Structure 1
């Protein structure tokens, strides 16, 4: 871990913050595009509780960044990030729905998802430009991770609830026929 700390110290002390901001923004745009492609392909395959639960579990490993001082976020910003993430999750919960095809459940394709994704990219980019002058880049990265995690967990819980509600409704309907 000592070597990793040296690398992080070098990055945050030797590389101008504008390069870190531009680089992380480009990486985020790439990851956003990748998320859209993965989501589009996933809509062609049936959904399952496992596929709903795993993404937040995989993302939770990102919390390891907080082992390093550069990424730690003061409590007021933690609360702000969680609040904004929860607001964004409401939109995702409302726009994520399922449909039944061939006795299997699929995520309904939604044009709103694309708009939400690009909206989030724009909001993140603008926020990063504004906040990077007063908050260091590592802290900002921590804040955006908290925001994303606070958005994904309730969204996935909402998806799980919708999934089981629809599955139970389908089972009740098929039991009646």
Structure 2
């Protein structure tokens, strides 16, 4: 079902299900890691796309993916399902998408509110840390070629000055 989601231009329409589906296609399961999605939209309803928001949320739940939704305009989502002719059955709005997957809904009426939402998500979601003891030592190798280039430049300058005499 998620394979049906394609990147494309929908004009003025909103395809939340396709957006979630495309993001879910990028997730590679790894042991011990719990992926999350951050979904941005300017309103809480979807009216286009191959995959309905309800289908995408069901897949995200099945995969154990939490969706944090950030609404950046319009009236805040009310947390009630809605119906549109594009899809069968009731569809979750941005607030329900988050709660149905174990994530959280944020309404960002300003840039400051959007930044606060991202900071809050950063405190909720554990960050990945590189495995301990596996540090790669870096050795700077540019000094040798740099010295050779400087010598060639210097010799070229001397040769040029010698030719002009």
TM range (shorter): under 0.3
Q: Which has the higher contact order (CA 8 A, sep 6+)?
A: 1
Greater fraction of residues in helix:
1
Greater fraction of residues in strand:
2
TM-score of the aligned structures, taking structure 1 as reference length? 0.25
